[in-house]
Structure 1
Amino acid sequence: MDNVEMAQDSLEHAHGHDAHSGAGGHAAPPTSTRLAAVLVAVLAAVAVVVEMSGNDQQTVYLAKDVSASDLWSQYQGKSVRHTVLLETAALLEAEAALATNPQPANQGRLDALIASTRAAAARLEDEPGHDGMKQVAARATQEEAARDHALELHEGLERSVRGLQIAIVLVGLFMATRLFWLFGVGAGLGAVALLYGIVVGLGLA
C-alpha cells in the first residue's frame, strides 16, 4: 500500500466513524477527527514528496555507478596499452644495447622509435586536459563519490518515508479507536520523520 492509499484508507475510516457517531449521538468531538484527517493528508503528501526525492537519488546512484564502471573500464584499457608500450620500449632498448657496430642511421631511427614509444606511454599515463590514466582515474573516483553520496541520500530518505508511513498508520488508528495517545505518538513521529528527511536532503546527516 503506497502513501496515498494509506491516507485514503485512514480518511475513509474517519468518515465512517463520523457517520456512525452522527447516528448514535455519542463520540469524540468531530474537531479532533477533522484535525487527524488533515494531519493524515499532510503526512501522506510529505511522504510522497520525500519518496520521489529518494527515487531521484536512486536514479542518480544507478547513473553514477554505470559512469564509474565505464571510466574504470577505460582506465583498464589504457593501462594495458601503457604496459605494452613500456615493454616495447624496453625490448627496443635491449635490442639497441645488444647491437654490434650499428649503422648511425639505423641507430638514429631506433632511438627515435624508443623515444616516441616512451612518449606515447607517458601520454597514456598523464595527459592534462585529455583522457590520460591519471585523469580518467580522478574522474572515476569523483563518480564513485557522487554515487555513494546518492546512495546515502536514498537510504536516508527511505527511512524518513518509513517513519511518515508509520505516523499515518498511528493517526489512522486514532481515528478508529479514539485513543489520543496514538494521535500524539503519530504526530510526534511524523514531525521527527519530516525533520530527519529535511536534514538528510540538505546533506547534514
Structure 2
Amino acid sequence: MQKQKKIKHRVNKTILAKQADTQIVVKATIIRSDIRSDFFIPSIRSTKLLRDRYAYLTILLRTLLIVGLCGQASAFACDQPVGHFSSIEGDVSVQSGQQSGWSTAQMDTQLCEGDSIRAGKLSRAAISLITDAVLRLDEETTVTLVDVVPDPEERSFIELVAGAFQSLSRHPRRLTVNTPYLNGSIEGTEFVIRVNEDSADITVFEGTVIAANEHGEIPLNGGDSA
C-alpha cells in the first residue's frame, strides 16, 4: 500500500510539473505574441503616415506647378498683344516689360508692348507682329518691342540691343530701329540690321531706309548697305 501511494504521489507530481510547464509555455507564447503585436502596430501606423504625407506633398507640388504656370501665362498676358512667336528654335526667352526676370518662350506666348526677346547661342526665333511684319532673330540676339502699332500711317519702334534680325513685310511699313550705334528709319518691306561689338550695319533689300548716327544720316535704297 505504501508503495502504491508513493507511485501515485510521483505520478501526480509529474502531472503537476507538466501542467506548470504548459502554463509557462502558454504565458511565454502570449507574451511573445503581445511583443510582436506591439512591435508591428507602430510600423503599420508609420507606413500609413508616410503614405498620407506623400499624397499631401504630391497634391501640394501639383498645385504649385499649376499656380506657377498660370502665373507665367498671366505675366505675358496683355490687353492688346503686339505679336506672337511663329517659330522657336533652341534657347529663346522673354522678359515682360513689367518684370525683371526672363522666362522660357512658348509658341502661345503673347508678346506685349515693352517686352524683350532674347535668342541664345545656336538659337533662333521668328516673331509675327500686328503690323504684318515678321522679325527673324539670329542667334545671340536681343530685341525690345518698344512701341508696335497696327496703323500703317503710324511709326513703330523696336530696339536692337545685340545680335541681328531680318524684317519681312508684304506691305511697306514705317518703322524705326534703334541700336547703340545706328538708328534706322525704315519705309520698306525687307532689310537686315546687325549690331557688332563696336558698330552696327544695315542692308536694305526692298524699300527705303534713312540710317543716322551722331555723324549724320544717309539714305539707303534696295541693295544698299551702311
Question: Which has the larger share of helix?
Answer: 1
Q: Normalised by the size of structure 2, how large is the TM-score?
A: 0.32
Q: Normalised by the size of structure 1, how large is the TM-score?
A: 0.35
Q: Which has the higher contact order (CA 8 A, sep 6+)?
A: 1
